[in-house]
Amino acid sequence: MTALGEERLAPANGIEIAYQEIGDTGGEPLFLIMGLATQLLGWDEKFCALLAERGYRVVRFDNRDVGHSTKIDEAGVPKRTDLFRGRRSTAAYLLSDMAADTSGLMDHLGVDSAHVVGASMGGMIGQTLAIERPDRVRSLTSIMSNTGRRGPRYFPSLKAMRVLMAPSQRDREDHLEQVAQTFEVIGSPGYPRDDERVREIVGASYDRCHHPRGVIRQIHAVTASGDRTERLRSVRTPTLVIHGDSDPLVRPAGGRLTAKAIPDAKLLMVEGMGHDLPRQLWPQFAEEIDANAARARRGEPQGATVAA
């Protein structure tokens, strides 16, 4: 298996972003943007290798406020009322700033544009980058994400909302147990849970950097950034939308709306998938991401909606 390179820090958009690369440095760049509260470790090394083996220069990185990237602690923590109302004036930063972080990392690595793959909040960041800097995005894959549209069809289930907003446990073992319980709620009912792998990644992330205050600021960035639906209609980047039909956190309606909003986007609605990335689906996802990138190279439209 192709090995990940050493972790490095890059100046980007006035902060520092921690990143790793895997694959041929001469290959087409492919940037992986992870979601809320999740470090670059959330992109499993074996999944990264599946993409690298297809010839891509794969870059995974920590968003601001998690992992080894810059923490915005001087901004404090938003009030819950501001967070739920999406009050922009009190947000430490927005998804636009996080998209600019990604663009800044591209600058540091000498990359003019890249294939962009984002999961959950990472999909929202990727969408924002495609809207605001379409010249930087060769193709876009938005996984288990949405457009920021509010309403009953798009809100998390009550159980998912409770686990999302539960105060983070400070003790390591309590934190691991909390996350395990979270994935019991939001994970994929159609695929066996790999609890050992979850605990391994969560434990490694905790040891690397446990920073709950940053997570609250990330949530506020999502709620304060508003609805992208109309702006997504301007996107001409070849786009693939992957979503689970059993996702209780980012509801399937959000994935369908994303694919509907972006012209010629392809929707892959996966039966039995929740709000995680089951190992069994990695080969299919890598193949679909590669196919979307190939359509971008050929300048072809995306085609019809499909289901899996």
Do residues 128 and 96 touch, judged by C-beta distance below 8 A?
yes
Task: Examine the pLDDT at 194 and tell me if it is beyond 70.
Answer: yes
Mean pLDDT of 233-254: 98
More confident residue, 277 or 193: 277
pLDDT of 1 reads: 58
Task: Give the chain's end-to-end CA distance (angstroms, integer).
Answer: 27
Residues shown for the chain: 308
Helices and strands, number each (H, E), in the chain: 11, 9
In sequence order, what are the residues at sequence separation of 6 or more whose Cβ sits closer than 8 angstroms to the Cβ of residue 283? Answer: 50
Among 66-70, 142-146, 165-169, 243-247, the range scoring the smallest mean pLDDT is 165-169
Task: Examine the pLDDT at 192 and tell me if it is beyond 80.
Answer: yes
Cα dihedral angle (157, 41, 50, 235), rounded to 10 degrees? 60
Task: Examine the pLDDT at 306 and tell me if it is beyond 70.
Answer: no
Mean pLDDT of 217-245: 97
Query: Is 284 within a domain?
Result: yes
CA dist 123 and 120 (Å) reads 5
Mean pLDDT of 112-129: 98
Q: Is the pTM of this model over 0.85?
A: yes
How confident is the prediction for the chain on average, in pLDDT?
A: 94
Query: Is 3 within a domain?
Result: no
Sheet with 306-307: list strands edge to edge. Answer: 8-12, 15-22, 56-61, 28-33, 114-119, 137-143, 239-244, 266-270, 306-307
Task: Examine the pLDDT at 107 and tell me if it is beyond 90.
Answer: yes
Q: Please give the share of the chain, as a percent, with pLDDT higher than 90.
A: 89
Confidence of residue 205 (pLDDT cuts 50, 70, 90): very high
Mean pLDDT of 172-195: 94
pLDDT of 302 reads: 45
pLDDT of 168 reads: 85
Query: Is 29 within a domain?
Result: yes
Query: Is 118 within a domain?
Result: yes
pLDDT of 300 reads: 63
| Per-residue CA distances from 142 to 51, 53, 78, 106, 137 (Å) | 16, 21, 27, 19, 12
Do residues 100 and 77 touch, judged by C-beta distance below 8 A?
no
CATH of residue 299: 3.40.50.1820
CA dist 250 and 145 (Å) reads 6
pLDDT of 129 reads: 98
pLDDT of 4 reads: 85
pLDDT of 169 reads: 87
CA angle 256/258/264 to nearest 5° reads: 95
Mean pLDDT of 247-271: 98
Query: Is 232 within a domain?
Result: yes
Query: Is 1 within a domain?
Result: no
Mean pLDDT of 192-213: 94
- pLDDT per residue as tens digits for the range 2-28: 778 999 999 999 999 999 999 999 999
Q: Which helix (H) or strand (E) holds 123?
A: helix 121-132
Residue range(s) defining the domain that contains residue 205: 8-307
Do residues 279 and 43 touch, judged by C-beta distance below 8 A?
no
The overall longest dimension of the chain from CA atoms, in Å, is 51
Domain total in the chain = 1
Task: Examine the pLDDT at 303 and tell me if it is beyond 60.
Answer: no
